[in-house]
A = this chain, B = another copy of it.
């Protein structure tokens, strides 16, 4: 996949990649040992064997979904769990993803203050990831460093899990919810980083399971790309994600992880073929939400 020569803004690159793939979807790499296909399961319990196994599986997934999706979201925790070997696997997977033309979202949910956030942003740059997910609890300090050096970020605004409500749904004295206040912060911080596409390099994580909220958040962050987790296994449907898009059918990238990585396999089907098939179905379901698509798959 080649990118348009003019695009260097991370969101322009992302939108280009999604357009080429024909659907605003991304596949989440959340590899866990217990669910690896039998041939890839590690033979012993060392971190090195585990890291090799998840690296091999992740790269197999990348090759399986190449040409079907334009972006991948790499879950830091799955690699970090295996220490230095896991970090080496993460580096290898991110580089292979970039080599294959994917836009890479490093799903790290990091944030700190001062120079520590800059360190995290540098770590993400070293992985050659265009985007990092970050947490808004520390305010601008935990977000802005991720937008330096041409990188982009997605700040957590409304997460797909139930217990996120404990904080994100609380009503403020001014009538907003906490999530809406964070959305306003994201919109304000992102206003300085808008690319040729009209979208900012600071986007927002808005779960597919929070449809009513998504409508309101969409209105508060017109220039933010929504990264939408929770599709598939977590219960979000194609209909649920509609609210995350603007009326012009732009402005969101929908992620699926487990439903793609660990699909049901027809008898004799290779895991790679099952993954490709699941990715095509996912791509087509989401494409059908936003616009008619030519589906040249399979």
Question: Footprint of B on A, CB under 8 Å?
Answer: 30, 32, 47, 75, 77-78, 80-81, 83-88, 91, 109-117, 119-120, 122-123, 126, 135-141, 156, 159-168, 170-174, 178, 181-182, 185
Contacts and interface: CB of A to CB of B under 8 A. Distances in A.
Chain A binding surface SS class = helix
B109 A111 contact: yes
19 contacts: A75-B112, A77-B123, A80-B87, A81-B120, A83-B91, A83-B123, A83-B126, A84-B84, A87-B87, A137-B159, A137-B167, A138-B164, A139-B161, A139-B164, A166-B185, A167-B182, A172-B172, A172-B173, A178-B178
Contacts of A91: 83-84
Contacts of A161: 113-114, 138-139, 141
B137 A164 contact: yes
Given A84-B84, A138-B164, A139-B163, 4 more contacts: A32-B119, A75-B112, A138-B161, A140-B166
Q: How many copies does the complex hold?
A: 2
B141 A164 contact: yes
Contacts of A111: 109, 135
A181 to B, nearest CB: 6
Contacts of A88: 83-84
Nearest to A155: B137
A77 B116 contact: yes
